[in-house]
Structure 1
Amino acid sequence: MSTTIDTLEQLQALYGVPHERSLRKELTYLSAPYQALVAASPFVVLGTRGADGLDCSPRGDAPGFVRILDEHTLLLPDRPGNNRIDSLRNIIHDPHVALLFLIPGVGESFRVNGRATISLDPELLALCEAQGKLPRSVLRIHVDTCYFQCSKAAVRSGLWDADRQVERASLPSAGDLLKSVLDAGFDVQAYEQQLQERLKTQLY
């Protein structure tokens, strides 16, 4: 007997019918309460799809860094990074994006599915200015659907519980991780010192 589910009928039989509330909370626009969640979030995960598959990438800044242009449109600035531009390459291939907003201390998360364009519009860049610096580009995201996710995942994981925070020193540092994939002569100490300086001077 197969232990793999590979049809929608099998899936439906296992999970049943979703609760009506879980369907009604999905909107095609940003209601005022949903806008409040976006405005309070300092961190969002951006999901994209490209020719080589899927990608998700973290984005973060002060709460409200994802700007609400109107109830159908979000602006996501692109701050300095490693210039891999995986997400932007994917959007050129396929404009569909998914966003997952997290708010520290809040169990509910907020999900947006939409379509993005990469904009260099001076007015949009100015709206996303931070620390006196303009983003290199801005994603203009048309909201197709949006809804909030209940707090079960955050509660189960203890995501915001202070006593569950992991000591950074208990895991490999960024330098250690790089050395593990580069040559043995990689200077971890020098990299760590340079990284701390970049975090002070090159965030924007």
Structure 2
Amino acid sequence: MQIIEDIERLEALYGAPAPNSVAKVTPRLTPHYRTWIDAARFVILSTVGPEGTDASPRGDDGPVVRIVDDTTLWLPDWRGNNRIDSLRNIVRDGRVSLMFMVPGAHSVVRINGTAKLSVDPDLTESFEQKGRHPKSVIVVSAEEVYFQCAKALMRSDLWARDDAEGLPTAGAFIKEMVAEFDGDTYDKGYPEYAKAKMW
């Protein structure tokens, strides 16, 4: 196996980036990027910490983040499984990346920047839904904003496919690790359980 171990060799292999791939990057949320992100109900949050990297899917039944100004976004941390991998990383290393996706849209919008974790009651309570609110809010400061080329989603035909039949279920994943776990019973209530856990 041939391994590339220096940047010069890597750049020689791929050549210079296309001019538009550099020109599209902005340090702030322009009107078009604001419109796009406001439409997103799903984002992947990537963080880094002493134990390594983490990528966490985040979703909401409205805009997944609140745009505060041209460089600031608030991402509520709704109730989940309490692993808090992303939150642990943010507390120790603020570098984050966000990847927003909108069903039917082939572009992906990406933000690179830093984040802090706020537990300010006024902030968490401002996200109240159905009488509940997140325990914390991730405050993201954007440094780079840009859209990703549509080729990946078009090539995968992501929004036109349904390849879920026959895949392992949530209960099967757990039972594979915990032999005595009742995966079938868990799966019967899983969609309702997952929705309820958010609140």
CA displacement 1:55-96 (0-9 Å, x = unmatched): 100000124130000011000000110000000000111001
SS in 1 for 2:26: coil
Identity of aligned residues (%): 43
Residue 87 of structure 1 corresponds to: 86
2:48 is equivalent to residue 65 of structure 1: no
1:194 Cα deviation from its structure 2 partner:
4.3
SS in 1 for 2:174: helix
2:123 is equivalent to residue 165 of structure 1: no
Over 6 Å off, 4+ runs = none
1:21 Cα deviation from its structure 2 partner:
1.1
CA distance in 1, matches of 2:32, 2:192: 39
- Map of 1:102-121 to 2, 5 A cutoff? 102-121=101-120
Question: Per the alignment, do residues 160 and 200 of structure 1 end up closer, same or farther by CA in structure 2, a change over 3 Å counting?
Answer: closer
**Mind listing any 5+ residue stretches in structure 1 that lack a counterpart?**
none
Q: In structure 2, give the amino acid aligned to 1:101.
A: F
2:8 is equivalent to residue 3 of structure 1: no
1:8 Cα deviation from its structure 2 partner:
1.1
Q: 2:170 aligns with which of 171, 174, 183?
A: 174
Question: Per the alignment, do residues 197 and 152 of structure 1 end up closer, same or farther by CA in structure 2, a change over 3 Å counting?
Answer: closer
State how many pairs are aligned.
199
Q: In structure 2, give the amino acid aligned to 1:177.
A: F
2:197 is equivalent to residue 202 of structure 1: yes
1:49 Cα deviation from its structure 2 partner:
0.5
CA distance in 1, matches of 2:114, 2:138: 9
SS in 2 for 1:160: helix
SS in 2 for 1:99: strand
Q: CA RMSD in A?
A: 1.5
CA distance in 1, matches of 2:130, 2:149: 34
CA distance in 1, matches of 2:2, 2:194: 48
Residue 25 of structure 2 corresponds to: 26
Q: Do the aligned residues in 2 keep the contact of 1:113 with 1:146 (CA within 8 Å)?
A: yes
CA distance in 2, matches of 1:166, 1:192: 18
Q: In structure 2, give the amino acid aligned to 1:120.
A: V
